């Protein structure tokens, strides 16, 4: 009996996704990219090779030494509700997305283009506009005060929201998407599912795409799950306050030297992380070895200079695994003579040390560095367009020891047998608009 061959991708079917976070909250960092990237597009996007490519803008030019940028919009694009994409709509969306904290000074609609002006040169603006923060949302979908996205979510992307029911967010294909209708008819995203339950649902065919945290990658492989994994894109770092006791730069440098990254990688993250003392991973720069990541407790004690600072509070953001990582770091710091207490999970109390994880939003190294610095509230320095210039910017910031890079972690998902052509974006988000189902009708 002949067996069916693999064909071009099929149209149709419903893909079921399960995640730990809130499927509905488009502003939740980890999940937002998944949903936002399906509903919205940016003016630009980052291609698989890391280059900036046209999206809602078809071309752009810079003038006045990168102080003025003009982006021309793709003609004939409509939002999923049928309204035309105009330069005014783009201006409203971009202004609403960042409010007073925009990286540019002003953005204006000019004919079928939008013009950005800045006080300082922005050579990386096209790459920056590909980021999740600057996706184009139709006016009325944004809370102008907070910049957060409200329902209904109206964008130009491959899918549109069909509402939330029984904790399941349903997205349906946008037939008039400028990139072409997606292969899938529908995506159902169920939030607040424990990893164990996600994997169980995958195994019995109730889910097609589930999460695999980095520390569970080995376990997933042992269970023979079909895993798609990104390069290391999530930076786990220790944010150190530069006020109070820690205003002393030697104490911050001592903390940086006291952390045992190898133990974090080996014990907590099951050797799935890439140890780093640089903000950008080696795959993007090739020079991360210039930032030594070895622990040196003796030198840390020496830098502390006999000072015994008051008890420091360390708070982790995220899962129970992050809480374990915080406990481990506290242990390291105590060995170097610091008194450290770990805040309870979910605590909002003041912390001297915070363990955040930031996503590498671009595979363009300059845009990625700018985005990381903005995420931690640091004004973006002018970055020279050379590897040496990039290294200098990174080096200068890390010398402040206000953010201590620890590990780069991959993002991973397990997929069911009927899913095909599922790839991850440069920042590890599943590209569901290009995926299809083998058994679609």
For other proteins, which is the closer residue by CB, 12 or 337?
12
Among 106, 167, 194, 290, binds other proteins (CB under 8 A): 290
Contact (Cβ atoms closer than 8 angstroms) between residue 94 and residue 77: no
Say whether residue 8 binds other proteins (CB under 8 A): yes
Residues in the chain: 441
Alpha-carbon Rg for the chain in angstroms: 23
Among 151, 163, 180, 244, binds other proteins (CB under 8 A): 180
Q: Report the C-alpha gap between 62 and 69 in whole angstroms.
A: 4
Q: Which residues contact 183 (CB under 8 A, 6 or more apart)?
A: 9, 10, 11, 12, 434, 435, 436, 437, 440
Say whether residue 183 binds other proteins (CB under 8 A): yes
CB of 419 to other proteins, least distance (A): 12
For other proteins, which is the closer residue by CB, 233 or 268?
233
Among 65, 76, 224, 349, binds other proteins (CB under 8 A): 76
User: Distance from CA of residue 190 to its chain's centroid?
Assistant: 20
Among 4, 145, 243, 320, binds other proteins (CB under 8 A): 4
Q: Which stretch binds other proteins (CB under 8 A): 7-15, 28-36, 262-270, 304-312?
A: 7-15
Cα four-point dihedral sign 131, 127, 392, 118: negative
Say whether residue 11 binds other proteins (CB under 8 A): yes
Say whether residue 22 binds other proteins (CB under 8 A): no
DSSP H or E run through 61: strand 57-63
CB of 366 to other proteins, least distance (A): 13
The DSSP symbol for 430 reads B
Say whether residue 9 binds other proteins (CB under 8 A): yes
CB of 389 to other proteins, least distance (A): 7
Q: Report the C-alpha gap between 16 and 206 in whole angstroms.
A: 8
Burial class of residue 351 (count of CB atoms within 10 Å of its CB; 0-12, 13-18, 19+): buried
CB of 3 to other proteins, least distance (A): 4
Q: Report the C-alpha gap between 399 and 401 in whole angstroms.
A: 5
DSSP H or E run through 250: helix 249-258
CB of 268 to other proteins, least distance (A): 26
CB of 325 to other proteins, least distance (A): 27
For other proteins, which is the closer residue by CB, 75 or 377?
75
For other proteins, which is the closer residue by CB, 148 or 178?
178
Count of residues near other proteins by CB under 8 A? 48
Say whether residue 434 binds other proteins (CB under 8 A): yes
Contact (Cβ atoms closer than 8 angstroms) between residue 189 and residue 383: no
Query: Whose CA is closest to 63, among 115, 102, 131?
Result: 115
Say whether residue 287 binds other proteins (CB under 8 A): yes
Among 172, 227, 283, 324, binds other proteins (CB under 8 A): 283
Contact (Cβ atoms closer than 8 angstroms) between residue 234 and residue 410: yes
Cα four-point dihedral sign 401, 402, 407, 411: negative
Among 47, 121, 337, 381, binds other proteins (CB under 8 A): 47
HSE-CB of 175 using CA atoms within 13 angstroms: 2
Binding to other proteins (CB under 8 A): which residues in 343-402? 363, 365, 384, 386-389, 391-392, 395
For other proteins, which is the closer residue by CB, 53 or 308?
53
Give the C-alpha distances (Å, rounded to integers) separating 82 from 155, 160, 348.
Answer: 10, 12, 43
For other proteins, which is the closer residue by CB, 274 or 352?
274
Q: Which stretch binds other proteins (CB under 8 A): 17-25, 31-39, 283-291, 354-362?
A: 283-291
For other proteins, which is the closer residue by CB, 342 or 368?
368
CB of 186 to other proteins, least distance (A): 16
The contact pattern for other proteins, residues 50-69, with x = CB under 8 A and - = no contact, is x--x----------------
The count of other CB atoms within 10 Å of the CB of residue 382 is 11
> Tokens at residue 48, please?
């698989």
Contact (Cβ atoms closer than 8 angstroms) between residue 322 and residue 358: no
Say whether residue 249 binds other proteins (CB under 8 A): no
Query: Whose CA is closest to 16, among 190, 253, 262, 178?
Result: 190
Q: By the criterion CB under 8 A, which residues form the site for other proteins?
A: 1-11, 47-50, 53, 76, 176-183, 282-287, 289-290, 302, 363, 365, 384, 386-389, 391-392, 395, 421, 423, 433-434
């Amino acid at each position: 009996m002949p067996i069916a061959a693999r064909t071009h991708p099929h149209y149709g079917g419903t893909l079921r996704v399960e995640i730990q976070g809130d499927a509905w909250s488009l502003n939740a960092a980890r999940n937002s990219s998944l949903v936002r990237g399906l509903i919205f597009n940016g003016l630009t996007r980052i291609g698989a090779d890391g280059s900036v490519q046209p999206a809602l803008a078809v071309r752009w030019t810079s003038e006045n030494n990168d102080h003025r940028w003009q982006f021309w919009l793709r003609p004939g694009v409509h939002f999923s509700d049928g309204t035309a994409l105009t330069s005014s709509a783009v201006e409203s969306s971009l202004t609403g997305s960042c409010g007073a904290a925009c990286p540019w000074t002003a953005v204006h609609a000019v004919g079928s283009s939008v013009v950005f002006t800045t006080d300082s040169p922005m050579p990386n603006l096209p790459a920056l506009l590909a980021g999740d923060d600057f996706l184009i949302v139709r006016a009325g979908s944004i809370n102008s005060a907070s910049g957060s996205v409200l329902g209904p979510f109206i964008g130009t992307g491959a899918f549109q929201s069909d509402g939330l029911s029984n904790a399941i967010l349903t997205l349906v294909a946008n037939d008039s998407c400028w990139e072409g209708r997606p292969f899938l008819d529908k995506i159902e995203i169920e939030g607040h599912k424990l990893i164990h339950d996600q994997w169980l649902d995958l195994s019995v065919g109730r889910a097609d795409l589930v999460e695999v945290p980095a520390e569970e990658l080995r376990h997933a492989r042992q269970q023979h799950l079909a895993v798609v994994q990104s390069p290391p894109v999530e930076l786990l770092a220790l944010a150190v306050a530069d006020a109070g006791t820690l205003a002393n730069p030697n104490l911050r440098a001592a903390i940086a030297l006291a952390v045992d990254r190898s133990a974090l990688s080996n014990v907590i993250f099951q050797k799935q992380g890439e140890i780093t003392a640089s903000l950008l991973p080696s795959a993007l720069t090739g020079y991360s070895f210039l930032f030594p990541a070895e622990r040196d407790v003796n030198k840390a004690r020496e830098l502390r200079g006999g000072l015994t600072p008051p008890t420091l509070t360390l708070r982790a953001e995220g899962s129970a695994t992050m809480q374990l990582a915080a406990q481990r770091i506290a242990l390291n710091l105590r060995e170097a003579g610091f008194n450290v207490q770990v805040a309870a999970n979910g605590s909002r109390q003041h912390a001297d040390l915070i363990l955040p994880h930031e996503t590498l939003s671009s595979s363009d190294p300059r845009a990625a560095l700018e985005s990381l610095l903005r995420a931690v509230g640091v004004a973006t320095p002018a970055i020279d367009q050379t590897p040496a210039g990039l290294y200098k910017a990174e080096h200068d910031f890390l010398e402040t020891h206000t953010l201590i890079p620890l590990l780069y972690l991959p993002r991973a998902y397990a997929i069911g047998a009927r899913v095909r052509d599922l790839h991850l974006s440069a920042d590890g988000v599943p590209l569901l608009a290009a995926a299809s189902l083998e058994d679609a009708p």
